[in-house]
Structure formats: C-alpha cells, structure tokens
C-alpha cells in the first residue's frame, strides 16, 4: 500500500485535469479507460498522463484484489456437538 502512495500523490494534479474534462461534458463513455482515451483525444490530458492514470487504476485494483478468497473458505462450518445439541453452529 505504501508503494502506491507516491504514485497517488503524483497523479493528483492529473486526476483533477481529467475530472474537469469529465465534468465538462467532453467525455461520453462510462468505461474508465475509454474515458481516459477520450480525455487524451480532447487534449485534456497527455499520453503520458493517460498512462499514469491507467497504471494507477490497475495497481489500485491489484492491491484491492490481493485479499480475494475462495467463497468456500469464508463460509461458516456447521459442527454438531451430538444429536441432542441445539447449538451447533460454530465458525470454523
């Protein structure tokens, strides 16, 4: 996470330029990467700035997805304490 901090800070001015273009109505797409392409085509950001924002978006997604677990690992396991047990649900 700390590795991304410098990239996030460096991209803030570029992100502001991009958001200004987005709010200005020049950009029509709903897809983030297509929005960046349209912002570059409109001259709102440069190719280098577009690459910077694309890199940051991918790195952020990779960081967020690192804690992706198999749903089976997250399910509670039912443990029976015997046939008479009325309290049989325990988290494994």
| Whole-number percent of the chain with pLDDT over 70 | 75
DSSP 84: T
Do the beta carbons of residue 53 and residue 12 sit within 8 Å?
no
Reported as a single tens digit per residue, the pLDDT across 40-68 is 999 999 999 999 999 999 998 888 776 66
The residues that bridge with 89 in the sheet, in sequence order, are 78
**Of the candidates 56, 31, 35, which has an alpha carbon nearest to the alpha carbon of residue 44?**
35
Within 1-92, residue ranges assigned H as helices are 2-23, 32-41, 47-65, 71-74
29: confidence class by pLDDT, cuts 50, 70, 90: very high
Compute CA distances 66 → 19, 34, 59, 73, whole Å: 28, 25, 11, 15
**CB contact set of 53 (below 8 Å; sequence gap of 6+):** 11, 14, 15, 18, 36, 45
The mean pLDDT value of the chain amounts to 83
Dist CA 55 CA 11 (whole Å)? 10
10: confidence class by pLDDT, cuts 50, 70, 90: very high
Q: What value does the mean pLDDT take over residues 3-18? A: 92
């Amino acid at each position: 996470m700390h590795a991304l901090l410098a990239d996030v800070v460096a991209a803030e001015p570029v992100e502001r330029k991009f958001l200004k273009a987005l709010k200005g109505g020049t950009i029509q797409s709903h897809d983030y990467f297509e929005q960046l392409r349209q912002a570059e085509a409109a001259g709102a950001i440069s190719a280098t700035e577009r690459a910077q924002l694309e890199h940051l978006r991918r790195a952020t997604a990779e960081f967020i997805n690192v804690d992706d677990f198999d749903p089976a690992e997250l399910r509670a396991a039912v443990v029976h304490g015997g046939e008479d047990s009325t309290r049989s649900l325990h988290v494994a």
